[in-house]
Chain A
Amino acid sequence: MSAAPKHDRYDVVVIGAGPAGLAATTMTADAGLSTLLLDENAGPGGQVWRAISSTPVKSEVLLGADYWSGAEIAKAARDSGAEIIHRATVWSLDRNLEIGVSVGGGSAFIKAKRVIIATGAQERPFPIPGWTLPGVMTAGAAQTMLKSSGLVPDCPTVLAGQGPLLWLLAAQILRLGGRIDRVLDTTPRANYIAALPHALAFLTSPYFGKGLAMMREVRAKVRVISGVTELAAAGDGKLESVTYVAGGKRETLPAELLLLHQGVVPNVNLAMAAGVEHRWNELQLCWTPVLDAFGNSSIPGIAIAGDGAGIGGAQAAVVRGRRAAGDAIKELRPQAEIIDLSAEMARAERGRAFLDVLFQPAKQFRMPQGDTIVCRCEEITAKDVLDSVAIGATGPNQLKAYRRTGMGPCQGRLCGLTVTELMAEARGKSPQEIGYYRLRAPVKPIMLSELASLPKDDEATKAVVRG
């Protein structure tokens, strides 16, 4: 078991040990600031460099150079002198920069002068019919298993969706001898035209060459269907088949594993629970925090770096982590010299607009209909959501009162975006007007005994114990 934090106060607490968090940690610790890095996973790397220090897939070519670029950054953080705690769950953060963290079944509150949230992204919900069936997983889930355990599919397997990760995963599965029966590409055809104005920047970005090579590698081995406009999983108690429509033609494939992916979106729960202002991002179709150039949020002392600040990818995350760290150093060590990173930032963000437009998911894959489940925890369907709008639900929070959406253990992570967009469409409003769930601590479940063991005072007792 990991040990609890050694102190109850730090100059800087970084939350999340992915690209942004590792880069930020190294910089603030190197500058002599007492730095604590808290991370939920067993080792550093976040999602993109998952299991970077422990993967059984040792051959460099199998996981690719982008993956292994994380090794050096993870090592730098380890050597920086920062206190790093893995398997630590940050379940609370408030405007006083007080952090509730659970480690090894015990919880504590710690205070920071600066907090850098680097909790990254999660995959966008992909609510198609049957997406709760056993055997339907995200592409990211398969990639996690591949990186950390060297596990690859060996049953009838379909990959469906769009975006760079889908192709990367397909290539990696094939390189490791795994099975893929078909790739279903859901990129809307119209997006290719919409993305054209951004194409020049993309063509000169590092994404272009790599992306093309990977798609070629996959197409050489697997049948790829483009222009998929409908998708459904079916089976009795587990996935048995995948049905899709492409070019007006419907086909059903037997399948035991369906890996879904339509991009990633910021992990907003901790930041929103802390009260950080977010706005609807019309391009990325998700909530992104309102930040200044250094990643500072609407709450003084809380910065957000990495994909949590808006999807930018691993390279941008590293730069954003350093920028947030630089700003913390500037405040806490005014004599320190801070390097200007704006040129690096521009380079890292080059080509992003093209990807955002090209891989904007189609409406039918974001806004399900009828009996398709929206809230996986409470098993609430699209029809249930619309019925609630019909009797008066104006937004996600009234919907909770009617239907308990977002009240299960995942706390809206897999239904929130869908609910906002469905309600916006039903009410003829923008997602910004509809809003999001009000999120509250604990943002990840913790045991009652942990809450019970935290500091109490007489005033609190008086507020609770009444004749």
Chain B
Amino acid sequence: MFKRAEGDARASVTIHVEGRAITAREGDTVSAALLASGLDVRRATAVSGAKRLPYCMMGVCFDCLVTIDGVGNRQGCLVPVAEGMQIEIQKGKREIGK
């Protein structure tokens, strides 16, 4: 969907999406890294289970909700990536204990 423009000199950061390592860049938000990964990162809504991807990327729409390091329903577009971060794609309502 998206590619990285040339000349991006930022350091690489490895994060894990459903256990799979992907390379992001320092300063990417989780949502940007997921969209750049090429993986299927669509979440399922808590209401109908419909598939969604981020819509606004500025903290307004809550369609970027994602589980980060075991904590569910985080706004991925507001959280910068960090080395070793564990990402899970949400499937419906937030799970108990996440």
Contact = CB atoms under 8 A, between A and B. Distances in A.
- Verify whether A and B have any Cβ pair under 8 Å: yes
Q: For the complex, would chain A's binding face be called helix, strand, loop or mixed by DSSP majority?
A: loop
A313 B52 CA distance: 31
Nearest to B26: A54
A29 B32 CA distance: 34
Interface string B19-43: 0000001011100110110000010
A388 B64 CA distance: 29
Interface string A107-143: 0000000000000001100000000111111101110
B50 A149 contact: no
B43 to A, nearest CB: 9
A209 interface: no
Given A141-B54, A152-B2, A413 B60 contact: yes
Interface in B60-74: 60-63, 65, 73
A122 B60 contact: yes
Given A40-B78, A134-B42, A379 B27 contact: no
A87 B61 CA distance: 17
Contacts of A378: 47
Contact of B29 (A136, A148, A237, A445): A148
Given A149-B36, A152-B3, A176-B5, A56 B27 contact: yes
A377 interface: yes
A58 B7 contact: yes
Give the bracket for the number of chain A residues in contact with chain B: 35 or more
Contact of A47 (B1, B36, B55, B58): B58
A153 interface: yes
Interface string A32-57: 00000000111000010001001011
A177 B5 CA distance: 7
A41 B57 contact: no
A292 to B, nearest CB: 28
Contact of A148 (B6, B32, B35, B51): B32
Interface string B70-85: 0001000110100000
A132 B61 CA distance: 11
B9 A56 contact: yes
B25 to A, nearest CB: 7
B17 interface: no
Contact of B1 (A150, A153, A377, A413): A153
Contacts of A54: 27
B9 A140 contact: no
A13 to B, nearest CB: 19
Contacts of A87: 78
A81 interface: no
Contact of A178 (B5, B50, B52): B5
Nearest to A141: B57
Contacts of A176: 5
Contacts of A151: 2-5, 32, 35-36
A42 B36 CA distance: 19
A177 B2 contact: no
A153 B45 CA distance: 25
Given A138-B56, A256-B1, A150 B8 contact: yes
A154 interface: yes
A352 interface: no
Given A135-B1, A138-B55, A150-B4, A409 B62 contact: yes
A149 B32 CA distance: 7
B98 interface: no
14 contacts: A40-B59, A51-B27, A58-B7, A134-B52, A134-B53, A136-B55, A141-B57, A145-B35, A150-B5, A150-B8, A238-B51, A409-B62, A409-B73, A445-B73
